Amino acid sequence: MRLNAYLARAGVASRRGADELIKAGRVTVNGEPGELKTFVGANDVVSLDGERLQPQELAYVLLHKPAGVVTTARDPQGRRTVVDLVDHPVRVVPVGRLDADTTGALLLTNDGDLAHRLAHPRYEVDKVYEVEVEGELDDAALARLRDGVDLDDGRTAPAQARHLGPTTLELAVHEGRKHQVKRMLAAVGHPVTRLHRSRYAGLDLEGLEPGAWRELESSEVELLRDLRAWRPGSASSAPG
């Protein structure tokens, strides 16, 4: 694996943070200074500031993110983070982001390769939201969401949308644009008042109270690794 991925697996930093450690000359591989392009094999010795590192076991955690918590490993403003909520012996970091006021399903892991795939738009990982909005939604607004909405960074991909009530809907998207759901609803004339992600990549929050987390089952991890399970029209991607 790449050196930055190895450092992330060892729990010392995110991949981006690992790149900074490497560029600062603090990381060696077999006694030689590591580089950003360095690959680490099973028998290589990696050290940080002279201390040998060992990769941690892979861990996969599903968190029911509550409101008011930021989706980051560290916050310069001192706010509570999702990592603070997960008391796990292995350092895990969030896959993607949810706004501080958004609640719901959030995956955390130290599996950098899987996290990269989940975040990449080509794999079309479904994110299902329960959305409360201003004003009563009509069929025309839902049709616009299903067809794709023009935003300032381009037209969104078609979404799956259905009524849950006069001012609530379920919306399934697979893109990862910043504030996408809020921007889509604002574009059709219904600003969001509450946003909750009920499912992510087929994982739901059954049995998890806000702020609680659990380890993924091995079968769930395999499902995440099976990219075919993320394609539109598959059993795991259809909103229920």
Catalytic residue IDs: 99
Q: Do the beta carbons of residue 187 and residue 140 sit within 8 Å?
A: no
In this structure, what token pair is assigned to residue 169? 């809907």
In this structure, what token pair is assigned to residue 76? 């310069």
Q: Do the beta carbons of residue 173 and residue 111 sit within 8 Å?
A: no
The closest of 83, 68, 185 to 129, measured between CA atoms, is 185
* Burial profile 199-211: b = 16 or more Cβ within 10 angstroms, e = fewer: bbbbbebeeeeee
Alpha carbons within 13 angstroms on the beta-carbon side of residue 58 total 12
Residue that has been written with the tokens 């040998």 in this structure: 52
8-state DSSP, 83: H
Q: Do the beta carbons of residue 56 and residue 10 sit within 8 Å?
A: yes
**Roughly how many angstroms between the first and final C-alpha of the chain, as a whole number?**
38
Look at phi and psi of residue 203 and say left if phi exceeds 0, alpha if psi is from -120 to 50, else beta.
beta
The closest of 172, 174, 169, 176 to 190, measured between CA atoms, is 169
Residue type, 213: W
